[in-house]
Amino acid sequence: MKTITPILAFYFLVLFPTIHLVFSPNKIIYELWGTLYFALALFLVLVLKRVSLEQLGFNNIWKTLAIGFLLGVIPLISVPLLDTWLIKSGLSQSELFMGAGLRSPEEIKFDMSLSGNIFTVTIATFLDQVFVVGLVINNLLKKQKTGESIIYGGLLYSLIQLKISLSNLVLGMISTGLLRTTGSIITPIMVSLGFAIAGVLIIFNYPRLISILAFLK
């Protein structure tokens, strides 16, 4: 708690207003400042030995890696299956989905290649899960009952993302629930990566489903 409080205080009270007031014209800094701060904070707490890898949730790695892989594949498989279902059911011709299929990645600020976006999203997702779920939620809510921690974890996850949305709330609850049930951060990381990569695939290969992403955000 003594370690987390100054980290979050600096994040919300100093860094957040400074970035928005001073660096908002700089696209790179404005979009990546959170990820960069998460990386720096994790590096410092590990180097200064304020927390250990085990306290961040790096436990039972091989077992939870297998579980996480199986669960993380689900959103990836769901994307083409959902797209196929929309086509066969005729819903793809509805006003909701028809226009979305005509949008290009550049229109929604995905100006890198597919592989480039997957690489960036992968790193950001990993750091996001380790910092928010492994460091903050794992330590702040470790004394809470599982049900309470899942609800509070979803809210806390959304708060740290600086965006209260259905996707952040659900992902935070799922990540917290997996952390509590498996005792490891590995499974939440793998599942979150599955959702993140599925989102990139939708943008590039299944733009018909962009309307669903817009609803979740």
Tell which wins on pLDDT, 178 or 102.
178
Per-residue pLDDT at 154 exceeds 70: yes
Query: In the listed set 50, 69, 84, which residue is the last one of a domain according to the structure?
Result: 50
Q: Residue 1 — very low, low, confident or very high, per pLDDT cuts 50/70/90?
A: low
Per-residue pLDDT at 103 exceeds 80: no
**Are residue 20 and residue 83 in the same domain, yes or no?**
no
**Are residue 118 and residue 71 in the same domain, yes or no?**
yes
Per-residue pLDDT at 97 exceeds 80: no
Q: What is the pLDDT of residues 57-87, one digit of tens each?
A: 999 999 999 999 999 999 999 999 999 998 8
Q: Residue 200 — very low, low, confident or very high, per pLDDT cuts 50/70/90?
A: confident
Contact 156, 171 (CB under 8 A): no
d(CA 194, CA 188): 10
Q: What is the predicted pLDDT for the residue at 130?
A: 98
Domain that holds residue 28: 1-50
DSSP for 72-85?
A: HHHHHHHHHHHHHH
- State mean pLDDT over 95-113: 57
Per-residue pLDDT at 128 exceeds 90: yes
**Are residue 22 and residue 96 in the same domain, yes or no?**
no
CA neighbor of 114 nearest in space, from 212, 207, 214: 207
**Are residue 94 and residue 76 in the same domain, yes or no?**
yes
Per-residue pLDDT at 110 exceeds 90: no
**Are residue 85 and residue 184 in the same domain, yes or no?**
yes
Q: What is the predicted pLDDT for the residue at 114?
A: 62
Q: What is the predicted pLDDT for the residue at 113?
A: 58
| Chain mean position to CA 15 | 20
- State mean pLDDT over 128-133: 98
**Are residue 14 and residue 69 in the same domain, yes or no?**
no
Q: Residue 15 — very low, low, confident or very high, per pLDDT cuts 50/70/90?
A: very high
Contact 1, 139 (CB under 8 A): yes
Q: Looking up tokens 């929309």, which residue turns up?
A: 86
Q: What is the pLDDT of residues 36-47, one digit of tens each?
A: 999 999 999 999
**Are residue 78 and residue 106 in the same domain, yes or no?**
yes
**Are residue 164 and residue 76 in the same domain, yes or no?**
yes
**Are residue 46 and residue 73 in the same domain, yes or no?**
no
Instruction: Give the dihedral of Cα atoms 41, 183, 169, 44; nearest 10 deg.
Output: 0
**Are residue 135 and residue 170 in the same domain, yes or no?**
yes
Number of domains in the chain: 2
Q: What is the predicted pLDDT for the residue at 122?
A: 92
- State mean pLDDT over 106-127: 71
Helix/strand/coil for 110? coil
- State mean pLDDT over 139-155: 93
**Are residue 32 and residue 137 in the same domain, yes or no?**
no
Query: In the listed set 50, 66, 86, which residue is the last one of a domain according to the structure?
Result: 50
Helix/strand/coil for 174? helix
DSSP for 122-163?
A: HHHHHHHIIIIIIIIIHHHSTTS-HHHHHHHHHHHHHHHTT-
Note the pTM of the prediction, 2 decimals. Answer: 0.90
For the chain, give the mean pLDDT.
88
**Are residue 17 and residue 79 in the same domain, yes or no?**
no
Q: What is the predicted pLDDT for the residue at 31?
A: 83
